Amino acid sequence: MPRDFLQGARDYYDVAVIGSGLAGLTAANVLARQGRSVLLLEQHYKLGGMATWFKRPGGHIFDISLHGFPYGMVKSCRRYWSREIADSIVQLDGVRFDNPMFSLWTSFTRDDFTKQLVEKFKVDPATVDAFFDKARGMNFYDDQQTTTRELFDEFFPGREDVIRLLMEPITYANGSTLEDPAISYGIVFSNFMSKGVFTFQGGTDKLVKQMEDELKKSGVDIRIRCDVEKINVGRDGVESIEVNGRTIRCGAVVSNANLRQTVFKLIGEEKFDRGFIDDARAVRLNNSSTQVYMGLKEDDRLDVSELGDLLFSSTAPTFETEALLSRDITSRTYSFYYPKTRPEGRPRCLVVSSTNARYEDWAGLPEDEYQASKQDLCETTLEALDKYVPNIRERVVHVEASTPRTFQHYTAHLAGASFGTKFEGLAVSRALPEQISGLYHAGSVGIIMSGWLGAMNYGVIVANEVDNLLMSRGSRSTSGFEESVAGEKS
């Protein structure tokens, strides 16, 4: 008999949350704390979605998406999770850039960027200030037509080096490009610039375990290996979900699955207005990633004062979105992990190299070519890393790669999208409950709501809307609340 992962689950819950990414986990926790009965369903055998890790022999634990997030995570974790979780958030010691245009170290704060822009890049201080003020003043309700390229051209015309400094890390952080709306850049950039780049001490495994404990305390019914196949909709809105052969009724659904999957697979286009479906069809997925995970010998130590925590490296002469996505890799972001990452664990040094990538470049490869391409990715990455970690090839005891196919496999994200959808996805995600009462989506979407902080905050926004609906069928407005969370810059 196959194991019943829904054993003991009830026939009705106030809310079913589909997916345990950071948005799904946070929405579930907030709703349960508000007194709602919540069923959290995850298709994988682990919670966390993209916020995940894996272990390899020799004591190596590799984090997938723990590279850096803004300080705002401290406030969000304290408010919506626990003080204990918030207290493990620490600042990175050093961020570096190395490319043919410049090499520098930075604390990745407004003060330090201002200093570098004025002293190293010789930009007029008043212009730098005006740029920072403009970026910081941006919010979701602003003009959405101006592109990031136009924003840069207004302040730094012809300064491709300055644009590279300002843009390259954000492209890496959320997949946005110069052609995306400037607000998607300004909001995320200002979030980082408020205090620098932060990480979770103890690793993703510790964070997700602590979150799971909190969810249990809040009373969430957590179920792994539960792949939701359908959300059933009746005349009055959401009625139930179909999962592992069972139909479970619910008052509302929060889908943390990819937005397009939610609309086209879990619901079906016949349930929506035509105009909505046209908009949903036009939503572009964000790009995916490749990563190479390298574990050093047990007693081999890297030096944080030499390498920093995060290194944006590139051999491309200029910054171009196309080059960042190309299969012919010129840009790699290295995360260096030291024993300080997991002070309670076995002391190990690791390097994870990440690169933005296109699903299409990997999707159609026959198995032998796919394996050969992964091998080539490992080899070329070791070659490139040797510049910063001499003799890396002799020093590593474990090397493996992941591709857009890997991300798709583990998270069910279409095309392995690392950061959900492009900007237009946000409006479609927000419009779901207007189409079908009780149907919500929370998860990486629209660039702004992606990344650890964006996804978590989106989970909070949506949880409050669901709670309002359940309480009064939508009579209490949450727009003020929504604005305050979305615009949080500290």
Ligand X SMILES: Cc1cc2nc3c(=O)[nH]c(=O)nc-3n(C[C@H](O)[C@H](O)[C@H](O)COP(=O)(O)OP(=O)(O)OC[C@H]3O[C@@H](n4cnc5c(N)ncnc54)[C@H](O)[C@@H]3O)c2cc1C
Please tell me whether residue 381 binds ligand X under the rule CB under 6 A. Answer: no
- φ/ψ region of 158 (left if φ > 0, alpha if ψ in -120 to 50, else beta) reads left
Binding residues with ligand X: total (CB under 6 A): 39
Which span (89-97, 232-240, 362-370, 409-417) binds ligand X, by CB under 6 A?
409-417
List of residues 6+ apart from 46 with CB closer than 8 A: 52, 208, 224
**From CA 111, how far away is CA 115, in angstroms rounded?**
6
* 3-class SS string, 423-454: CHHHHHHHHHHHHCCCEEECCCCCCCCCHHHH
Taking the least distance from each CB to ligand X, the nearer of 310 and 469 is 310
Taking the least distance from each CB to ligand X, the nearer of 135 and 208 is 208
With beta carbons less than 8 A apart as the criterion, state whether 305 and 336 touch: no
Q: Which residue is nearest to ligand X (CB)?
A: 21
**Smallest distance, ligand X to C-beta of residue 65, A:** 3
**From CA 200, how far away is CA 90, in angstroms rounded?**
6
List of residues 6+ apart from 306 with CB closer than 8 A: none
**From residue 303 to residue 342, what is the string marking binding to ligand X with x (rule CB under 6 A)?**
----------------------------------------
**From CA 419, how far away is CA 286, in angstroms rounded?**
6
Please tell me whether residue 418 binds ligand X under the rule CB under 6 A. Answer: yes
**Smallest distance, ligand X to C-beta of residue 151, A:** 22
**Smallest distance, ligand X to C-beta of residue 210, A:** 16
DSSP label of 403: -
Q: Which residues pair with 250 in a beta bridge?
A: 13
Q: Which residues pair with 400 in a beta bridge?
A: 293
Taking the least distance from each CB to ligand X, the nearer of 177 and 289 is 289
Considering only residues 121 through 180, tell me which ones interact with ligand X, judged by CB under 6 A: none
Taking the least distance from each CB to ligand X, the nearer of 127 and 326 is 326
Q: Which structure tokens are listed for 289? A: 């990633």
Q: Which structure tokens are listed for 328? A: 């012919």
With beta carbons less than 8 A apart as the criterion, state whether 54 and 409 touch: no
**From CA 169, how far away is CA 160, in angstroms rounded?**
14
Binding ligand X (rule: CB under 6 A), the pick from 15, 16, 17, 18 is: 18
Taking the least distance from each CB to ligand X, the nearer of 230 and 297 is 230
Considering only residues 346 through 365, tell me which ones interact with ligand X, judged by CB under 6 A: 354
**What is the phi/psi pair of residue 89, to 5°?**
-85, 120
Taking the least distance from each CB to ligand X, the nearer of 196 and 451 is 451
**Smallest distance, ligand X to C-beta of residue 465, A:** 16
Taking the least distance from each CB to ligand X, the nearer of 314 and 406 is 406
Binding ligand X (rule: CB under 6 A), the pick from 444, 457, 464, 478 is: 444
With beta carbons less than 8 A apart as the criterion, state whether 416 and 288 touch: yes
Per-residue CA distances from 3 to 6, 225, 226 (Å): 9, 10, 11
Taking the least distance from each CB to ligand X, the nearer of 13 and 131 is 13
Considering only residues 30 through 69, tell me which ones interact with ligand X, judged by CB under 6 A: 41-44, 49-51, 64-65, 67-69
Please tell me whether residue 438 binds ligand X under the rule CB under 6 A. Answer: no
Binding ligand X (rule: CB under 6 A), the pick from 21, 72, 295, 308 is: 21
Binding site for ligand X (CB under 6 A): 18-24, 41-44, 49-51, 64-65, 67-69, 227-228, 256-257, 289, 291, 354, 407, 411-413, 418-420, 443-444, 450-452, 455
